[in-house]
Amino acid sequence: MSSSGREGKIIKQLTWNSRQKDTIIALLFLVPSLAGFTIFYLLPFGAGFVYSLMDSPTQGSFVGLDNYRQLLQSASFRQAAINTGMFALISVPLVMTISLAVSIMLNRVLPFRSWLRAAYVMPLVVPVASIVLVWQLLFDRSGAVNALLSAWGISATDWMNLSWARVVVLLVFLWKTIGYNMILFLAGLQNIPKEYYEAASLDGAGAWRKFFSITLVCLTPTSFFVLIMSIISSFKIFRETYLIAGDYPHESIYFLQHYMNNMFQALDYQKLTAASFLMAAVISVVVMILFGFERKFHNNTK
Amino acid sequence: MKASIKSSILFIVLLVFAMIMIFPLIITVTNSFMTESEIVFNYGMGKEIDGFVNLKWIPDLVSLEQFKALLFDRMQFLIMFWNSLLLVLPIVLGQAAVATMAAFALSQFQFRGRDSLFFIYLMTMLMPFQVTLVPNYLAMDWLGLLNSRASIILPGIFSAFGVFLVRQFMIGIPHDYVEAAKIDGAGYWAIFYRIILPMSRPGIAALVILVFVDNWNMVEQPLIFLQDAYQQPLSIFLSRINEGERGLAFAAAVLYMLPMLFVFLYAENDLIEGIQLSGVKG
């Protein structure tokens, strides 16, 4: 008895030591990444938060949430925040629906299937800057879209200088993002066992019924991920908008990133840090809520 | 019969859609063979023109004039191309090295705080560039690296994305390989270098492609960190050429996307696998 107890203790000791050793080795492998990540992201992030509570980055004094209060009172910030939020609310469901539709259509035996797939993925690798000119030629006041419309007797519209600019930016976003989402959905569709559909057919379920009770349900984990990635890409549309329309585009496509860039150029670090922390906080909260839902769903299906 | 009609309709819908997707690409390529004067005639100099632009598929006169001007007559284009490479290659190589090591630790080891640490990486990855802009700028100011390439390369190397992607791949490699190698007396570095790295080849390939694409496209960083015009990468140059010298813009765009198109044609499957990996849970 006592000897086996001792053995147990020794084994415990051994495993403890090997676990400790594992931890140390793991940390050694992490050191390069963690060091850089801390120096270039985490530490300055913390410092930035402190700056957002001061009245000047050098020898400033603590002003609490004053910068945030001023920020929220700024009309251009509010406009930018509303635009960014609205754009995400509209573009994300739209891009998800279209990409799901495309991937369901592609998920069967078709002629030239891999060529079609390649065409949808292509915009992912095409550098934004190289395509901007085409977008300008299409949607400029004297652009090709207006040329076509005027041939039909419709008068020219200055697309980029009206609220229509939103639609143009939305089109660019869809063009750029469908490929990524489609690949994720295709992978998800291929993981659904064929037997589910066969069983449902035997029970006499129609195509829509199968879509709602099998496809959508089985795709939930994929859709969750596509949702997060689409939200993130909707914030990245700034790059395209900036290249097409510059620092100060029409107010309907003036996004938070424009605001922050312009605050940076104006050396207004207080508003800039406050705005970036507010944005980070909102994104974190949204993502955590989504993760919470996902976990709940995951536990329910288990 | 009915099924074949249905799939023909689907095929046509998908085909039309696919045409729309590659339309900007095709137009850019065909227009790059126009002469400068034909472009200016059809599209104007950049600002106002009388009437409408006349978007053309096929040049009247196929010529290599634009390419010749960019590659031989103006040094500027080649310098910018070189600038882009000088920024992108160190980021890709550095991130591949740093991220694979970190991903190895985060996937094949058990230690306290592992999952929280991964969550921090994940959240940072989700932030738009502007959120990390101020932190990056402050760090570069402290380190005295403003207005140098290092101010873009260093944050690029340590971006959380690489760690995330490679970790997603490595988490799928069973621990048994590590355990077996340990019993055979292999050191940790050997396990990493000889076993885990070769097994992660597809994941690393995907990382290299996605990081290359993303950085080849960079716009925000050079605008903020590089004041000197001679250091600017091609992405910035292109958006200027559109306004100033429209006659050369199409060929410049084609040359600019050529590396990307090669990467895509050569490694489409790795790219697709990489995107699928980013959706793997765990």
Extents of the domains making up chain A: 74-301
What are the φ/ψ torsions at residue A62 (nearest 5 degrees)? -70, 125
Pairwise CA distance, residues B11 & A112, whole Å: 9
A187/B242 Cβ within 8 A: no
B11/A40 Cβ within 8 A: no
Tens digit of each residue's pLDDT (9 = 90 or more) over A168-206? 899 999 999 999 899 999 989 988 888 888 888 888 888
Average pLDDT over residues A129-148: 78
Pairwise CA distance, residues A104 & A218, whole Å: 13
Answer yes or no: is pLDDT of B102 > 50: yes
Q: How far is CA B16 from the centre of its chain?
A: 27
Contact list in A for residue B219 (CB cut-off 8 A) is 128-129, 239, 242-243
Tell me if A115 sits within 8 A of B22, measured CB to CB: no
Fold for the domain defined by A74-301 = MetI-like fold (1.10.3720)
Tell me if B166 sits within 8 A of B100, measured CB to CB: yes
A222/B279 Cβ within 8 A: yes
Tell me if B250 sits within 8 A of A129, measured CB to CB: no
More confident residue, A92 or B231: A92
Answer yes or no: is pLDDT of A267 > 60: yes
Average pLDDT over residues B195-218: 88
Q: What letter would DSSP give residue A156? A: P
pLDDT at site A78: 92
pLDDT at site A92: 95
Give B50: exposed, middle or buried? Use CB within 10 Å, 0-12, 13-18, 19+.
exposed
pLDDT at site B51: 64
Token couple for B240: 């200027």
Tens digit of each residue's pLDDT (9 = 90 or more) over B105-143? 999 888 888 989 999 998 888 887 777 777 778 788 888
Amino acid at residue number B168: Q
Tens digit of each residue's pLDDT (9 = 90 or more) over A8-49? 666 666 566 677 888 888 999 999 999 999 988 888 888 888
Q: Which H helix or E strand runs over B136?
A: helix B129-143
What are the φ/ψ torsions at residue A54 (nearest 5 degrees)? -110, 165
Pairwise CA distance, residues A186 & A180, whole Å: 10
For A79-83, A246-250, B96-100, which range has the lowest pLDDT when averaged over its residues? Answer: A246-250
Answer yes or no: is pLDDT of A98 > 60: yes
Pairwise CA distance, residues A181 & A187, whole Å: 10
State the average pLDDT for chain A. 84
More confident residue, B280 or B209: B209
pLDDT at site B77: 85
Pairwise CA distance, residues B138 & B120, whole Å: 20
Pairwise CA distance, residues B63 & A244, whole Å: 28
Pairwise CA distance, residues B18 & A118, whole Å: 9
Average pLDDT over residues A73-90: 91
DSSP conformation letters of B197-236: HHHTHHHHHHHHHHHHHHHHT--HHHHHH---GGG--HHH
Token couple for A129: 């800057």
Q: What letter would DSSP give residue B58? A: S
Tell me if A133 sits within 8 A of A154, measured CB to CB: no
Average pLDDT over residues B146-170: 90
For A168-177, A249-258, B52-61, B76-85, which range has the lowest pLDDT when averaged over its residues? Answer: B52-61
Pairwise CA distance, residues B134 & B132, whole Å: 6
Residue B197 pLDDT grade (very low, low, confident, very high; cuts 50, 70, 90): very high
pLDDT at site B4: 81
Length of chain B: 282
Tens digit of each residue's pLDDT (9 = 90 or more) over A110-131? 888 888 888 998 888 887 777 8
Highest mean pLDDT among A91-95, A222-226, A229-233, B204-208: A91-95
For residue A169, give the nearest of A120, A136, A125, A209 by alpha carbon: A136
Tens digit of each residue's pLDDT (9 = 90 or more) over A214-234? 898 888 888 888 998 898 888
pLDDT at site A1: 43
pLDDT at site A16: 60
State the average pLDDT for chain B. 84
Give B174: exposed, middle or buried? Use CB within 10 Å, 0-12, 13-18, 19+.
exposed
pLDDT at site A10: 64
Pairwise CA distance, residues A119 & A116, whole Å: 5
Contact list in A for residue B191 (CB cut-off 8 A) is none
B264/A236 Cβ within 8 A: no
3-class secondary structure, A62: strand
Contact list in B for residue A260 (CB cut-off 8 A) is 130, 133
Rg of chain B (C-alpha set): 24
Q: CB contact, 8 Å: B63 with chain A?
A: no
pLDDT at site A87: 93
Average pLDDT over residues B183-187: 86
Contact list in B for residue A129 (CB cut-off 8 A) is 217, 219, 234-236, 238-239, 253, 256
Give A39: exposed, middle or buried? Use CB within 10 Å, 0-12, 13-18, 19+.
middle
Answer yes or no: is pLDDT of B164 > 70: yes
Buried b / exposed e over B198-234, threshold 16 CB at 10 Å, is: eebeebbbbbbbbbbbbbbbbbbbbbbbbeeeebbbb
Give the class (CATH, top level) of B75-278: mainly alpha
